[in-house]
Structures are given as C-alpha cells and as structure tokens.
A and B are shown apart, each in its own frame.
Chain A
C-alpha cells in the first residue's frame, strides 16, 4: 500500500470510530471516557485529513488551500482511481 492509500485508510478508520462514539454518546451524553476518546479521535482525524489534503489534494472543497488554482476539480476523481 502506498502512503496515499495508507493515509486514506487511516482516515476511514478514524471516521468509523468517531461515528461509533457519536452513536454511543447520543444515548450516554455524560460518559467522560467516551467524551475523552471522541476528542482524541477527532484530533487524530483532523491531523490525518490535513496531512492528506496537503500532500494529495482536498478531500472536501473546504480543504482546497491553493490561492491561485481551484484544486477541487483536479484529477483524478474518486471513480477515476485504479
């Protein structure tokens, strides 16, 4: 697996964990351990997504950093990847 795919799969895992914690917290809103874990994974996810978008382009339009060129439309699109 190349670095780009590794980073993407990391983000996927963080997203899943965050969604699980999200659902748990919906029914246990005062669980400190779940809250702490959510914060931890939120940070991990933010850092990984930041890292990814700087190296390989934006995952969402808000991550298009370039001042001179709208990188959101750059190839390849997800369905164009091998």
Chain B
C-alpha cells in the first residue's frame, strides 16, 4: 500500500515538473521573439541552478572613464548600493 502511494507521488511530481519546464520554455521563446536577441541562457536550462548570464559585446567606456569606473563595460558598471533597498 505504502509503496503504491510513493509511486503515485513520484509520477505526480514528474508530471508537474514536465508541465513547468514546458511553460518555462514557452515563456523564454516568447521573450526572445519580443526583444529579438539571443538568449543569455542555454537551451533547456535546468531549474533550481544558479547561472551567470554570458556577456555579449556591447558599448565600451573610453579608457579615461573605464579606469575611474573600474570596468570597461557599462553593463558591468554596477556600484554597490550599501545593501539597502535602493529602488
């Protein structure tokens, strides 16, 4: 009896997971169409993992500004705002 229940549970969890992955993919595809850019995530990115988006070439600061900002890339110019709610 107990084993049957466990089997059912596993099936249910798997089913839920598949549904969720499907929904995520659709969402990702839609956002891609909207913004017309390449995804920063690999295809079929698994859930529950932490990712660092892959940097793409864009604007660069001049050498003068780069040194004072601490980065050549405006995209990476993310000053620490002291841990409070900066919004």
Contacts and interface: CB of A to CB of B under 8 A. Distances in A.
Interface of A: 12-14, 16-17, 20-21, 24, 27-28, 31, 33-34, 37, 41
B67 to A, nearest CB: 5
Interface residues of B, number: 11
Contacts of A20: 66, 71-73
Contact of A28 (B55, B63, B64): B55
Q: Is the contact region of chain B dominated by helix, strand, or loop, or is it mixed? A: loop
Interface of B: 54-55, 57, 60, 63-64, 66-67, 71-73
Given A20-B71, A20-B73, A28 B66 contact: no
A28 B72 contact: no
Closest 4 CB pairs of A and B: A20-B72, A13-B63, A17-B63, A16-B67
A31 B54 CA distance: 13
B66 A17 contact: yes
Contacts of B67: 12-13, 16-17
Contact of B60 (A12, A16, A27, A37): A37
A65 B45 CA distance: 57
Contacts of A24: 55, 57, 72-73
B72 A21 contact: yes
A41 B63 contact: yes
B66 A13 contact: yes
A24 B63 CA distance: 15
